[in-house]
């Protein structure tokens, strides 16, 4: 097709035509809103590096989740900040743990909302790593038992879905087996299948109080330079029983989202992580960008790359914008 026979601007010239031929669509149903539950009452502490995001006690989690649900957000994912921490993260699988309490209250007061729980140990361990430590390293197989106990406790509390984010080898299969053995074969697993060792996680570590106290997480999170490894990791989780596979972070890894979408026929999620959120907020507060426009462009980028679901701290704003048309 060549000019002047073909003129692209004929279609671009009217908003109605642009809407009619738009190739990628975004819906509020695509969104999952991350929330940080902490112990206590009347707690609503803003995360300094994440404007508009809070550590909240359970009653405030319920209130904001209700607000999010009313805007059209169908699901939240919960992260927990325990009252105390120890070497094995034992607060992660207590019946009266903060996430377990939040799940029960959310299912009671916002029954139409899907409640997903992050399954990892980093928020609960005093060393900040994602599993049990042996000889200065995370012990993969010992950690699997802890993750199974945590996932099972979430399911028992009423979680609609569990989402292991630890990047231990074999954890999807172990959790699937543990859930099935206790009568929770109906609870799906959204696996953080492709999770890179990223500099974009900094603000989250403030929000979840989960920074490692020594070393880093490169021995279990992926090398940002690796593409084929991402497909191997996703394939392992699919074979072990994952129902949804996730790529994290989002924007720096859109190529990986597309690779995973092309390779697998399961739903694909992408995590628009804390650093991505905070950069947009900082630039907007300085008047350097149009926040709404950049946020929506980012969401469309995720969808265009092939994501079915988007975990994003912008979820409430995006749902309002989509609802307003």
Confirm if 221 and 130 have CB atoms less than 8 A apart: no
**Annotation says 303 is catalytic:** no
Confirm if 300 and 26 have CB atoms less than 8 A apart: yes
As a dihedral over the C-alpha atoms of residue 230, residue 143, residue 219, residue 204, rounded to 10 degrees, the angle is 80
Residues 240, 245, 247, 248: is their CA dihedral positive or negative? negative
CA atoms within 13 A on the CB side of 58: 19
According to DSSP H, which parts of the chain are helical? 9-12, 15-20, 58-71, 98-109, 140-157, 171-181, 202-207, 228-240, 254-263, 274-285, 291-305, 315-324
For the chain, what is the total number of helices (H) and then of strands (E)?
Answer: 12, 12
Kindly name the residue from 14, 107, 195, 303 that is annotated as catalytic: 195
**Annotation says 14 is catalytic:** no
Phi-psi region of 209 (alpha: psi -120 to 50; beta: other; left: phi over 0): left
Tokens of 141: 């197989």
Q: How far apart, in whole angstroms, are the C-alpha atoms of residue 203 and residue 277?
A: 9
Q: How far apart, in whole angstroms, are the C-alpha atoms of residue 96 and residue 82?
A: 10
Kindly name the residue from 85, 107, 108, 248 that is annotated as catalytic: 248
Q: How far apart, in whole angstroms, are the C-alpha atoms of residue 272 and residue 276?
A: 6
- For residue 117, the SS3 value is strand
Active site (catalytic) residues = 195, 248
């Amino acid at each position: 097709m060549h000019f002047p026979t073909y003129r692209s601007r004929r279609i671009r010239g009217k908003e109605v035509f642009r809407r009619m031929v738009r190739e990628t669509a975004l819906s509020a149903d695509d969104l999952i809103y991350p929330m940080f539950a902490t112990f206590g009452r009347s707690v609503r502490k803003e995360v300094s590096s994440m404007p508009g995001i809070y550590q909240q006690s359970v009653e405030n989690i319920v209130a904001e989740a209700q607000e999010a649900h009313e805007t059209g957000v169908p699901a939240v994912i919960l992260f927990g900040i325990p009252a105390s921490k120890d070497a094995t993260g034992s607060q992660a699988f207590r019946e009266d743990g903060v996430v377990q309490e939040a799940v029960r209250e959310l299912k009671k007061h916002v029954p139409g909302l899907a409640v997903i729980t992050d399954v990892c140990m980093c928020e609960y361990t005093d060393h900040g790593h994602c599993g049990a430590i042996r000889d200065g390293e995370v012990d993969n197989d010992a950690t699997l038992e802890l993750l199974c106990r945590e996932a099972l406790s979430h399911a028992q509390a009423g979680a609609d879905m569990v989402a292991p984010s630890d990047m231990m080898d074999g954890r999807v299969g172990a959790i699937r087996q543990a859930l099935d053995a206790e009568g929770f074969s109906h609870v799906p697993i959204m696996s953080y299948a492709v999770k890179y060792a990223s500099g974009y996680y900094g603000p989250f570590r403030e929000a979840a109080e989960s920074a490692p106290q020594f070393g880093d997480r490169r021995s279990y999170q992926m090398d940002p330079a690796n593409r084929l490894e991402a497909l191997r990791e996703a394939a392992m989780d699919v074979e072990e029983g994952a129902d949804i596979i996730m790529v994290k972070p989002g924007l720096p890894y859109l190529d990986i989202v597309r690779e995973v979408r092309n390779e697998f026929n399961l739903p694909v999620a992408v995590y628009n992580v804390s650093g991505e959120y905070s950069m947009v907020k900082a630039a907007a507060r300085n008047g350097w960008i149009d926040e709404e426009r950049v946020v929506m462009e980012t969401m469309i980028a995720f969808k265009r790359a092939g994501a079915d679901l988007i975990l994003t701290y912008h979820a409430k704003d995006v749902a309002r914008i989509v609802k307003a048309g």
